[in-house]
Amino acid sequence: MSRRSDLLEFAVLGLLHESPMHGYELRKRLNAALGVFRALSYGTLYPCLRGLLDRGLITEVADTAAAGTSGSKRARIVYELTADGKEHFQDLAKEAGPTAWEDDTFDVHLAFFARTEAEVRLRILEGRRSRLEERLATIRSASAKNRERLDAYTAALQQHGEDAAEREVRWLNELITAERNIPASAPRSTQAGSPAATHPITGNKE
């Protein structure tokens, strides 16, 4: 399986972890929220769903209510995460190696940080920052060596790349600082009757 296929599987499981969805809604969410899938076709999505079904990670449920309201006699299919699917998603969310912080994967992992363990979030953020700092150093080195030979447009493009990398490094520093300020004893989930912890970045209840 290719890295993009693995990433799509992770994203689909993550979205279904939030709520059951039709294939249309899944594709819309993947296109809108996760830019790496903005050109995703049904010809790519449905084979992924079929593979997840075959492995018992998701299940199909007929949405008869939707069929009645739409005037169609055919029930629409809703996809739901199974217990095995939830467990597999959590295993994937624990991965914190280079594949989690590359340009085409980082945003997807970040989108599901609310369901990712704190130490894993921190490793991914630090890995992404290191990658951006390496890129920034390379850009600055190339700029210093080639400044006299660059035309105005190429120089402007290079400066744009440097500015973008600097902004992302600053943003990552803020996220990392916030993660480190989360009390180590703060639970990821709360028991009934106990107050929920608030995440310093999202403001959401932990």
Comparing 46-50, 56-60, 75-79, 198-202, which segment has the lowest mean pLDDT? 198-202
Of the candidates 65, 94, 110, which is a domain's last residue? Answer: 110
pLDDT at 151: 87
The pLDDT assigned to 113 comes to 93
Q: Which residues are within 8 A (CB) of 85 and not within 5 positions of it... i.e. 6 or more apart?
A: 13, 16, 52, 56, 57, 58
Rounded to an integer, what distance in angstroms lies between the CA atom of residue 8 and that of residue 16?
12
Distance CA(25)–CA(72), nearest Å, equals 18
Task: Return the top range by mean pLDDT from 25-34, 63-72, 100-109, 138-147.
Answer: 100-109
What is the span of the domain harbouring residue 159?
Answer: 118-180
DSSP state of 117: -
pLDDT confidence tier of residue 187, bands split at 50, 70 and 90: very low
Q: Check which CATH number belongs to the domain holding 40 and give it.
A: 1.10.10.10
Are 129 and 64 in the same domain? no
134 and 106, same structural domain? no
Specify whether 74 is located in the same domain as 161: no
pLDDT of residue 128: 96
